[in-house]
Structure 1
């Protein structure tokens, strides 16, 4: 279980970010649950069973990029995430593989999203 209830990202590229996350997170079983267009800016919600990731307009500001890691169920999901994220316009920031600097079973892939955030899919088990 996550220690977070939810995470919110702000972006000046909301349409691009929605398209990217819809494609990149699909292999992990994460989908867009809603989009609301509000006077102060739109917001999209993503999750599996419930919304845990919000992406909203950052009108009048340029947000600082963040790092997020999404839990994968196996190594194949990590590979599928990486491929989908690259196909959706992400920039490779680390191909799928073991990251032994963390521990011997840390299998992850990294992609930079359209807003400059470092997005990771990770499986921390053994196949």
Structure 2
């Protein structure tokens, strides 16, 4: 159902470096380029994409309260690695890796914010 998610940034080169390194942990690469406005990452064009872009209206990007993008990982070990990589790259911890009851039995997740303050979740179910 979801084709792509866009998160705002005010510094495309900084955000691109963060996401290039972070998403490599789950096998995602740049799939699209939007000039100086940003990029989209994914495992293929047939799968949902995560985009980082400056706002179209030219105003500064801000963080949406209650907005979060979730990244599917192939294993709990990948969840751990992505969360650790996010922190190494300067992201902030919003919840260490572990099982989460709200996601049902088998839902293993970690939460962090990127360099612009956007909240992300990396998870494995099963």
The two structures share one fold, judged by TM-score above 0.5: yes
Q: What's the Cα RMSD here?
A: 1.7
Change (3 A) 1:101 1:5: closer
Give the CA deviation at 1:7. 1.4
- Structure 1 residue runs without a partner (length 5+): none
Q: How many residue pairs align between the two structures?
A: 120
* Partner secondary structure for residue 103 of structure 2: coil
Is 1:55 aligned to 2:52, yes or no?
A: yes
* Aligned counterparts of 1:4 and 1:33: Cα–Cα separation in 2: 16
CA deviations on 1:82-115 (whole Å, 9 max, x unpaired) are 1111111111111110011321211001111011
* Partner secondary structure for residue 24 of structure 1: helix
Give the CA deviation at 1:26. 1.3
Alignment of 1:1-127 (within 5 A): 3-37=1-35, 41-50=36-45, 52-58=49-55, 59-65=58-64, 66-125=67-126
Deviates most, 73-82 or 97-106: 97-106
- Structure 2 residue runs without a partner (length 5+): none
